């Protein structure tokens, strides 16, 4: 038996200045969602993008959807942030009078990517040569500037919310306002631990966080059913079990986890708009550890069918064709066979 005061420090009850969270062992969390939304508006709204020929400006952010938090687990500081951002811009040639408008989207601002890897999609509402020229300035010159602002957001998040999460221990000054040094490359280890519990068979000892080339998959499929029925087929546990042919674990709520196909497909629900839209963080077990894509299903009901539009970002290059084929074989074809969505039942 260890002598008094010796042994594994995790199990030694330590005196604490505030008498809470002994040894910083328990999970503590600070919600940074509201602060983040305001910070992103501050950093991006009004941002000017220009060169010798063109002047553009971000007019407003129309959507900032997601969450952010700072967490302490076992005296380690962990940051989590995941955002989908949409906005509108306007611009004009400096030697012209006509203004053009357009939209931009940041589909995945998260700790999975470095700031200089974040995707920025830009479009314009006109198809003229001049409009295209303005849009290209917004895209080519604007993307690095937008990424720079997003890097400032990430830095500010860590500085602002890196304080008071890890609490002082015995022998410390007891000053709970002292800023904690934050690692420059924080990763979401909380999510990683949860993922390991869900996919406990995925035990390959491969280094995490490796940058890999990815692709964007876009597909469309027609189903002979109502949007409501198709939505249920993708979110109802019993229906998912029916077309996948195996046990399914599924929490159908924002942040809820799911696992199916014998643990080969796992993920998390990011957004749920009944009968209209589903967004998921989604991965296949064989992908590099902790690498997730973002899958969005958009349902468009017509008079005699429902069109499912699939957008998937972050698909590993080497897995692109297999993933595309997998949706068709394991999802669309099976759903049509099992539920009769391939036949006209209206």
Residue 8 pLDDT > 70: no
Angle at 211 between CA 49 and CA 298, to 5 degrees: 65
pLDDT tens per residue across span 309-325: 999 999 999 999 999 99
Once rounded to an integer, what is the mean pLDDT over residues 158-167? 64
Once rounded to an integer, what is the mean pLDDT over residues 82-102? 92
Residue 5 pLDDT > 60: no
- Residue 156: burial class (beta carbons within 10 Å; 0-12, 13-18, 19+): middle
Query: Quick one: pLDDT band at residue 13, thresholds 50, 70, 90?
Result: very low
Q: What is the pLDDT of residue 162?
A: 65
CA atoms within 13 A on the CB side of 242: 15
Q: What is the pLDDT of residue 280?
A: 95
Query: Quick one: pLDDT band at residue 346, thresholds 50, 70, 90?
Result: very low
Residue 116 pLDDT > 50: yes
Residue 264 pLDDT > 70: yes
Once rounded to an integer, what is the mean pLDDT over residues 153-163? 82
Within the chain, all domains assigned CATH 3.15.10.20 are found at 28-161
Within the chain, all domains assigned CATH 3.30.530.20 are found at 207-339
pTM over 0.85: no
Of all residues in the chain, the percent with pLDDT exceeding 70 is 75
Alpha carbon 249 to its chain's center: 21
Class of domain 207-339: alpha beta
Q: What is the pLDDT of residue 32?
A: 85
Residue 197 pLDDT > 50: no
Q: Are strands 306-316 and 214-223 parallel, antiparallel or unpaired?
A: antiparallel
Q: What is the pLDDT of residue 161?
A: 74
Once rounded to an integer, what is the mean pLDDT over residues 160-166? 61
Average pLDDT over the chain, rounded to an integer: 79
On whether the CB atoms of residues 122 and 132 are closer than 8 A, the answer is no
H-run or E-run covering 62: strand 54-73
CA atoms within 13 A on the CB side of 223: 30
On whether the CB atoms of residues 130 and 96 are closer than 8 A, the answer is yes
Which residues, at least 6 apart from 54, have a Cβ–Cβ distance to it below 8 Å?
91, 92, 93, 94, 133, 134, 137
The two structure tokens encoding residue 273: 């708009």
pLDDT tens per residue across span 221-254: 999 999 999 999 999 998 998 998 888 899 999 8
Q: What is the pLDDT of residue 70?
A: 79
Closest to 166 measured CA to CA, from 315, 52, 37, 20:
20
pLDDT tens per residue across span 279-312: 999 999 889 888 999 999 999 999 889 999 999 9
Q: What is the pLDDT of residue 96?
A: 85
Q: What is the pLDDT of residue 343?
A: 59
pLDDT tens per residue across span 63-83: 999 888 877 655 567 778 889
Query: Quick one: pLDDT band at residue 211, thresholds 50, 70, 90?
Result: low
Closest to 272 measured CA to CA, from 314, 227, 231, 222:
231
Residue 260 pLDDT > 60: yes
What fold is seen in the domain 28-161? Bactericidal permeability-increasing protein; domain 1 (3.15.10)
């Amino acid at each position: 038996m260890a002598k008094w005061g010796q042994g594994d420090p995790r199990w030694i009850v330590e005196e604490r200045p505030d008498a809470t969270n002994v040894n910083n062992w328990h999970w503590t969390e600070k919600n940074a969602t509201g602060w983040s939304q305001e910070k992103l508006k501050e950093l991006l709204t009004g941002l000017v993008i220009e060169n010798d020929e063109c002047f553009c400006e971000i007019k407003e952010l129309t959507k900032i959807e997601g969450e952010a938090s700072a967490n302490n687990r076992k005296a380690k500081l962990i940051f989590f942030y995941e955002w989908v951002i949409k906005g509108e811009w306007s611009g004009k040639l400096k030697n012209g009078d006509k203004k053009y408008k357009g939209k931009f989207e940041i589909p995945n601002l998260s700790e999975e990517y470095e700031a200089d890897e974040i995707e920025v999609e830009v479009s314009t509402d006109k198809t003229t040569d001049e409009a295209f020229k303005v849009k290209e300035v917004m895209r080519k010159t604007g993307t690095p500037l937008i990424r720079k602002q997003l890097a400032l957001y990430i830095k500010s998040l860590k500085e602002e919310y890196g304080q008071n999460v890890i609490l002082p221990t015995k022998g410390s000054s007891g000053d709970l306002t002292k800023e904690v040094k934050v690692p420059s490359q924080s990763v979401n280890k909380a999510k990683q631990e949860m993922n390991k519990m869900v996919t406990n068979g995925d035990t390959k000892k491969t280094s995490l966080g490796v940058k890999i080339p990815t692709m964007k998959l876009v597909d469309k499929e027609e189903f002979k059913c109502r949007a409501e029925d198709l939505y249920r087929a993708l979110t109802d546990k019993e229906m998912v079990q029916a077309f996948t042919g195996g046990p399914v674990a599924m929490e159908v709520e924002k942040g809820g986890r799911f696992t199916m196909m014998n643990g080969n497909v796992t993920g998390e629900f990011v957004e749920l708009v009944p009968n209209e839209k589903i967004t998921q963080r989604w991965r296949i077990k064989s992908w590099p550890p902790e690498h997730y894509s973002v899958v969005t299903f958009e349902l468009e009901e017509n008079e005699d069918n429902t069109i499912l539009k699939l957008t998937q970002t972050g698909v590993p290059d080497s897995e692109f064709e297999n993933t595309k084929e997998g949706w068709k074989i394991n999802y669309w074809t099976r759903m049509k066979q099992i539920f009769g969505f391939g036949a006209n039942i209206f």
